[in-house]
Amino acid sequence: MSKKITISDFKNLQAQFEGELYFDNSAAHQAQKVIYSTDASVYQEKPLAVAIPQNTTDLQHLIRLANQFQITLIPRSAGTSLAGQVVGKGIVVDISKYFTQILEINTSERWVRVQPGVIRDDLNAILKPYGLLFGPETSTSSRAMIGGMIGNNSCGLHSIVWGDTRDHLLAAKVLLSDGTETTFEDIEKPAFYEKARLQNLEGDIYREVHKALNNPFSQDAIEKAFPKKSLTRRNTGYALDILSDNEIFQHNSGKTFNFCRLLAGSEGTLAFVTEAKLRLLPLPPQEAALVCIHCNSIADSLHANLIALKYRPMASELVDKYILDFTNGHHEYHKNRFFIEGDPKAILMVEFMANSQDEITQIANTMIDELKAAGYGYAYPIIRGQDTKPAWDVRKAGLGLIRNLPGDLQPVNLIEDCAVLPEDLPNYIADLQELLAKHQLNASYYAHAGAGELHVEPMINLKTLEGKELFRTVLKETAVLVKKYGGSLSGEHGDGRLRGEFIEYMMGTEVYGLFREIKKIFDPKNIFNAHKIVDTPPMNEFLRFEAGKAKPQIDTIFDFSKQESILRLAEKCSGSGDCRKTQVTGGTMCPSYMATRQEKDTTRARANVLRQFLTNSDKPNRFAHEEIKEVMDLCLSCKGCKSECPSQVDITKMKAEFLQHYYDTNGIPLRTKMVGNFTQSQALGMLMPRVYNFFASNTFTSKLIKKTLGFAQQRTLPTLGKTTLRDWQIKRLKTQEKRQKNSIASLKTKASKARKQGKVYLFCDEFTNYNDVELGQKTILLLTALGYEVHIPMHLESGRTYLSKGLVRDAQKIAIQNVQLLAKALEDQSPILGIEPSAILTLRDEYLDLVPPEYRAQAELVADNTYLIDEFLAQEIDKKRITKDLFTKEKKLIKLHGHCHQKALSSLIPTKKLLSLPENYEVQLIPSGCCGMAGSFGYEEEHYETSMKIGELVLFPTIRQQSNDVIIAAPGTSCRHQIKDGTNRIALHPVEILWNALND
């Protein structure tokens, strides 16, 4: 019996480990272990430790430790597996941070050599200029990594043409279970026998595998057990059918042998991949189109699929009503519904690619004619060009979208990976629907109809004992159906610990015995991902939810009733990893992850940690855990998750709520109080603005201030205007003469020849009122020049600074007063306009969930009548109330960086429209996510480095590339400060640019 590992043993390893190790009982280490206790599956088990190796030597240290103490190593990349492949009580080994290099691209022979942490879509972005791509395309391709794709033998969207990962894995450099390094690649028969003569583990593998498979009994058992050979999606157990078909075992000659065929789909149980050589394909034809066949039933769509396949499409994918309905009202996906006609029960998305749209049209119309004649479908819109991407995004987001289903009855990954031949699919699904109806279960049906594999997700409540048992019963009974049709229990998602229990039933005792033998040959001490594929625990154990456990009652300040509760909102995270975006694929969430590439800095990690502690805490204050604080620390509250997460897991809201309760137990830090009370400090400073600005600007005093508050010395402190905007406006309104003599207005005689446009209210936010006063003045003058009567109503600050630091109760008091004051002002139905996105959008977002029920109607009235000034002016342009003849014809190029809150809660389209009003102004969006400043976040000493890393991803390099005559636009005050600190360029608010463009 092996010795039990101790903290001291891990410390000894740490001394020689170049990467990162998390193993002790500190909050930081415990948080990491909680994060890695789950993936995108329904399983959860806390690991002994988490390792983030930096190189192969680190991996060899881990292998030696695992052998010494008989601990399993669980390889993990993006953690998007659905069958619990990367969950277990061992050491989780995350290669996603450091094993990310593209090592070699060979264009003439069409292959690439990569490390396992390379992301599929990022790889293809780099390969595109060479006219090449790596074909297998999972719906998670924006974060799925090559190592995980090899482990699961991923197929994806276009597998009916491009095949699976196994088809493209030419060679793999691996570490064997004794730590030795070898390469699996094509070898001829003499080389195979030469390998088999080696007196080491590698030799044992070649020799013993040959012995196990090179006999009539094994060959016969394999022939009988495996799915139909024409079924392309077959991923149950180890791929012995493919291996045993090889000439090495068939006594043929002249061909090659490659253990990569076995490695693909082995879920990290046989060897640890450190490099992979992948076959590449030429880019497909440039012209593409989607025929979206609207059907009245799932059955009709599956028969339509058989007709579609006759026309050799690139893909044929199903999206059902559940998914389509959840796009309704979703900020990110609602706009993608443009192709949906009526209320289809299912849409079959059939993609064609060709050298011309005429060629596609001819094929599509012929197919549509046949579908009509057969009575399948009622609408057949053809989506072309760039419009295909948002349509495909609906299909790819299916896993996350259906997690928006209210209640504890949720879709579960269970029978979502069963595959049969496409021609068997209609009958198989009909039988399956009958099976589910017997258990009174609804299900979502979507994905790979063209390959014979629908992702069927039945709705089961896993929080009940009955649901836990039903979970197993449905898989057991479905296995019988799959076997009846000669299908595979797993098509591409793998066995893991979900389907492992039923492999012996599917494949028979003899073949299951061979699987066990293969595992033992490669891994005698069972150190590689133990209890996956073979010898798995019962499939309904170690679930995320403890069946029968009472639901905790958690009181909150924010109203979480729309999401049912704060716990339910955290539970909505499907684990699909949409938050693991990079600057290559783009998007806003999650900026800190983009900079650190640490799982703990993802939306998923934050949701999972919050869920686990709120569910299982034994403290009176369930929020009072350092582990939660640890994972929330680098959340910039950008709100990207609220829009970009298919399940709309709003971490910004949950972080603010958490911090308030955490402070209730631990007290409020000085810096937090100072940032929250920013408006009060600025108001006090306005008593003597010159003195305030001296202390804020002077090198010696500003250094002391920053040191006292814990701000980074590299930052410049904000200074005050000569007057507040509110005071300036009061004085301005006294007489027309004073307006004309104003220092800014006198710069140009921008005559207000425009007709009277009506009255508008300008929300005088705290940043514009005290710091960006000149911007506020230009805003008022611009609106006046365009014919609007501008009034600043009575109101308090927005409360943004309090919310950003988690002082939710203070923000609530402000919100209550503001909705009353502003609702009264709105009696004349004039709109409220705001300059600073983070402040004005607080009225549209947080206020609705922050005020008590008795003020809800007023909050909704305010929200409905509140606009970013960009939005308002863009609407006025659409109404022809503002025309380009009022502006210069000078030619300018503008590079626009959008504020995170604007991208999440509004859009950059109005801003682009506004800036494009002068007829020779060209506006280009900078493809940046968050700037990295995020209010006070980028000021804070411990966050400064992360803040600047975020800026360096896209924003700073793009700006540095621009000549001085290019205008940089940024609506957010924090963004403009970050751009100045990071690039020494001055960015302008869109209003300033438009003001400068007005004709004299």
Note the pLDDT tens digit of each residue in 533-591.
999 999 999 999 999 999 899 999 999 999 999 999 999 999 999 999 999 888 889 99
Say yes or no to pLDDT of 751 above 60.
no
Task: Supply the angle between the helices 27-35 and 603-616 in degrees, to the nearest 10.
Answer: 100
What is the C-alpha to C-alpha distance for residues 437 and 828, in angstroms, rounded to an integer? Answer: 56
Q: How far apart are CA 1000 and CA 997, in angstroms?
A: 9
Angle at 582 between CA 581 and CA 588, to 5 degrees: 65
Q: Which of 836, 504, 831, 537 is nearest to 679 (CA)?
A: 836
CB atoms within 10 A of CB 86: 30
Residue 145 has a pLDDT of 97
Q: Where are the beta strands (DSSP E) in 265-395?
A: 272-279, 281-282, 287-295, 315-320, 346-354, 382-384
Residue 750: the pLDDT is 46
The model's confidence at residue 754, banded by pLDDT at 50, 70 and 90, is very low
The answer to whether 168 and 278 have CB atoms below 8 angstroms apart is: yes
- The length of the chain is 1000
Q: Is the pLDDT of residue 748 over 50?
A: no
pTM of the model: 0.93
More confident call, 495 vs 394: 495
Q: How far apart are CA 129 and CA 123, in angstroms?
A: 11
Q: How many CB atoms lie within 10 A of CB 416?
A: 25
pLDDT tens digits along 964-973:
999 999 999 9
Give pLDDT, residue 621: 97
Note the pLDDT of residue 246: 58
Determine the average pLDDT of the residues in 800-811: 98
With a pLDDT cut of 70, the percent of the chain lying above it is 97
Terminus-to-terminus CA distance in the chain, angstroms?
89
User: What gap in Å lies between CA 453 and CA 451, rounded to an integer?
Assistant: 6
Strands, DSSP E only, in 845-971? 866-868, 892-896, 921-925, 967-969
Instruction: Name the band, by pLDDT with cuts 50, 70 and 90, for residue 131.
Output: very high
Contact 947, 936 (CB under 8 A): no
CA distance 716 to 414: 54
pLDDT for 747 equals 45
What pLDDT, in 10s, does the model give residues 618-628? Answer: 999 999 999 99
Which ranges of 572-650 would DSSP assign to H, the alpha helix?
A: 591-596, 603-616, 626-632, 640-644
- DSSP secondary structure of 134-179: ---B-TTTTT-BHHHHHHHT--BTTHHHH--HHHHEEEEEEE-TTS
Chain segment 72-107, per-residue pLDDT in tens: 999 999 999 999 999 999 999 999 999 999 999 999
Q: How confident is the model at residue 737 (pLDDT cuts 50, 70, 90)?
A: low
Cβ burial, residue 830 (10 Å; 0-12/13-18/19+): middle
Phi, psi (deg, nearest 5) at residue 589: -80, 145
**If pLDDT is split at 50, 70 and 90, which confidence band does 740 have?**
low
Contact (Cβ atoms closer than 8 angstroms) between residue 995 and residue 781: yes
Taking Cα atoms as reference points, which of 78, 161, 69 lies closest to residue 121?
A: 78
Average confidence (pLDDT) over 785-796: 96
Amino acid at 672: T
Amino acid in position 798: S
Average the pLDDT over 903-926 and give the result. Answer: 96
CA atoms within 13 A on the CB side of 767: 24
Read off the pLDDT of residues 836-877 as tens digits, 9 standing for 90 and up: 999 999 999 999 999 999 999 999 999 999 999 999 999 999
| Range name among 306-315, 327-336, 730-739 with the lowest pLDDT average | 730-739
For residue 760, the surrounding DSSP H or E stretch is: strand 758-763
The per-residue pLDDT of the chain, averaged, comes to 94
State the Cα–Cα distance between residues 367 and 145, nearest whole angstrom: 36
Angle in degrees, CA 821, 822, 827, rounded to 5: 105
Strand partners, 383: 290
Q: What is the DSSP letter of 959?
A: H
Q: Is the pLDDT of residue 760 over 90?
A: yes
pLDDT of residue 498: 96
At 388 the pLDDT is 92
- The per-residue pLDDT for 403 is 85
- Per-residue pLDDT averaged across 735-743, rounded? 53
Record the tokens describing residue 630, joined without a space.
């640890």
Cis bond before residue 635 (omega within 30° of 0): no
In the predicted model, is pLDDT for residue 253 greater than 70?
no
Task: With beta carbons less than 8 A apart as the criterion, state whether 958 and 926 touch.
Answer: yes
Query: Residue 749 has what pLDDT?
Result: 46
pLDDT of residue 573: 94
Q: Which of 475, 324, 297, 316 is nearest to 402 (CA)?
A: 324
Residue 407 and residue 465 in contact, taking contact as beta carbons nearer than 8 Å: no
Asked if 490 and 423 count as a contact pair (C-beta separation under 8 A), the reply is: no
Residue 252 has pLDDT above 70, yes or no: no
